């Protein structure tokens, strides 16, 4: 009996789980094995995204994840407030976990399966068990420093309270009309259900240190000021990389024989640290590709995606230099306040990582919100 060896996806977080779900749906002929160290898939996350982050081929998949959807979203700064009739959505890790268990055939996933070593033709679990593979994909997420990359940080604590939002149809994606601490600070408010609201306190900071207790206290204060304080239902926190510069070949040498997906492969938006849209696009791309599924082909495919992604993030790296190097931490909010003068279609292309040449000119036009000399320095540095 000839049983084909599986493609092993190491890491059942966002990127690994979406890749597995797309493969099972579109390439049932390709056997897979999704290995997750924890007891559940997806960790402890609420992932938010715009409609424009979802490729047509993934619309059904996203619908099956039960997204919470807000028809409007709003931003607020000391001198600007705008509400956009453009939907914002969120899915939870609990729904991703449920969908993986429902859709992946028995035997094609394992939890509590921590991988100790990854090779092109097998993975070795911490238990010592070896599992042979036709191809291996590393989707272990952000497990350590990202070599070769110059980074700033977006860090936050979010607490979900049992409380009712005033306007349950509107997500607040940035309210920076609050005291600025540790860089650019804003509050994020998502009404997750009629009786639950997620309130997050977020910082664009130079360093990755996050004092979870201190920031949790600030979240409660922010919630109280907005009439949203209630029993704490759940909590999440994150420290996301913001890409300022660096050497892509040091981060990911092009002769690395193992494919990567998700944060492990640098697939995040340089200015937001978000990766939902890219994880989804890459999962669709993986399932739709014509090439073989051996390790060498997968490594080549994913490294080429990364090279394209790195190129597409060039403009964002320049903006990030302006944000982190030209603006004093307490003044960083002005960069976003200035940006949000622009039409929403442009804002959406920006967050989608696909601004046009005209968009880039418009973003950089007008009186810079930071000192001119420092802005020029940031623009001219490669
Ligand atoms: C709290 C939080 C909220 C976020 N919110 C958003 C958002 O709203 N929108 C957005 O676009 N981005 C968001 N992000 C950023 C980014 O999208 C997430 O970090 C996303 O989960 C990254 O996906 P990933 O698959 O690369 O890594 P992860 O989702 O972290 O998945 C990696 C998985 O690999 C597993 N793993 C690690 N090592 C091993 C091993 N040795 N063996 C087996 N398994 C292993 C981990 O347990 C984990 O489940 C958020 C991040 C955080 C932390």
Residue ranges per structural domain of the chain:
7-70+87-145+247-312, 149-239, 314-380
Cβ 19 vs Cβ 283: under 8 Å: yes
Residue nearest to atom 13 of ligand 1 (CA): 274
Q: How far is CA 260 from CA 4, 15, 17, 109, in A?
A: 22, 10, 13, 18
- Max CA separation in the chain (angstroms): 71
Q: What angle do CA 154, 336, 56 make, to 5 degrees?
A: 75
Reported pTM: 0.95
β pairing state of 135-138 and 7-10: parallel
Residue-by-residue pLDDT tens, the chain, 382 positions = 346 899 999 999 999 999 999 999 999 999 999 999 999 999 999 999 999 999 999 999 999 999 999 999 999 999 999 999 999 999 999 999 999 999 999 999 999 999 999 999 999 999 999 999 999 999 999 878 899 999 999 999 999 999 999 899 999 999 999 999 999 999 999 999 999 999 999 999 999 999 999 999 999 999 999 999 999 999 999 999 999 999 999 999 999 999 999 999 999 999 999 999 999 999 999 999 998 999 999 999 999 999 999 999 999 999 999 899 988 889 999 999 999 999 999 999 999 999 999 999 999 887 667 666 666 666 656 5
Cα 228 to averaged position of ligand 1 atoms, centre (Å): 28
Same CATH fold assignment for domains 7-70+87-145+247-312 and 149-239:
no
For the 149-239 domain, the top CATH level (class) is: alpha beta
What residues contact 213, with CB distance under 8 A and at least 6 apart? none
Ligand 1: nearest atom to the Cα of 236? 1
Q: How far is residue 264 from each of residues 73, 241, 349, measured CA to CA in Å?
A: 30, 12, 24
Buried b (16+ CB within 10 A) or exposed e, 32-50: bbbbbbbebbbeebbbbbb
Residues having CB within 6 Å of any atom of ligand 1: 10-16, 35-38, 43, 45, 47-49, 114-115, 139-141, 143, 236, 238, 240, 262-264, 273-276, 279
Probe ligand 1: pick from 141, 243, 263, 269, max atoms within 8 Å of CB?
141
CATH of 7-70+87-145+247-312, one of 1.20.1050.10, 2.70.70.10, 3.50.50.60, 1.20.58.220: 3.50.50.60
d(CA 100, CA 36): 11
């Amino acid at each position: 009996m000839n049983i084909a060896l599986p493609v092993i996806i190491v890491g059942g977080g966002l990127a690994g789980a979406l890749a597995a779900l797309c493969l099972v749906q579109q390439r049932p002929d390709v056997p897979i094995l999704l290995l997750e160290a924890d007891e559940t898939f997806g960790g402890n996350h609420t992932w938010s995204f715009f409609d424009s982050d979802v490729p047509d081929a993934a619309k059904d998949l996203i619908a099956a994840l039960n997204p919470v959807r807000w028809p409007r979203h709003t931003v607020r700064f000391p001198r600007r407030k705008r509400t956009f009739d453009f939907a914002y959505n969120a899915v939870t890790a609990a729904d991703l976990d449920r969908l993986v268990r429902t859709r992946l055939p028995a035997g094609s996933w394992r939890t509590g399966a921590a991988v100790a070593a990854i090779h092109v033709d097998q993975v070795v679990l911490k238990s010592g068990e070896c599992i042979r593979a036709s191809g291996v994909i590393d989707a272990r997420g952000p497990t350590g420093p990202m070599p070769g990359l110059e980074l700033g940080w977006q860090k936050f604590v979010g607490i979900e309270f049992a409380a009712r939002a005033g306007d349950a149809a509107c997500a607040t994606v940035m309210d920076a009309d609050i005291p600025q601490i540790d860089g650019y600070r804003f509050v994020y408010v998502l009404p997750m259900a009629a009786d639950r609201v997620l309130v997050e306190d977020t910082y664009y900071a130079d360093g990755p240190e996050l004092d979870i207790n201190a920031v949790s206290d600030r979240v409660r204060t922010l919630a109280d000021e907005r009439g949203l304080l209630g029993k704490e239902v759940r909590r999440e926190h994150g420290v996301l990389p913001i890409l300022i510069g660096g050497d892509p070949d040091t981060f990911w040498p092009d002769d690395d024989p193992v494919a990567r997906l998700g944060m492990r492969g640098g697939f995040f938006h340089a200015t937001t640290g978000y990766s939902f849209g890219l994880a989804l696009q890459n999962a669709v791309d993986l399932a739709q590709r014509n090439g073989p599924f051996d390790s060498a082909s997968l490594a080549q495919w994913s490294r080429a995606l990364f090279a394209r992604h790195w190129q597409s993030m060039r403009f964002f790296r320049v903006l990030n230099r302006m944000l982190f190097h030209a603006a004093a931490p307490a003044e960083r909010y002005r960069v976003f306040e200035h940006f949000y003068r622009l039409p929403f279609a442009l804002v959406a292309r920006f967050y989608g990582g696909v601004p046009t040449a005209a968009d880039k000119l418009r973003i950089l036009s007008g009186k810079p919100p930071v000192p001119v000399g420092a802005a020029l320095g940031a623009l001219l540095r490669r």
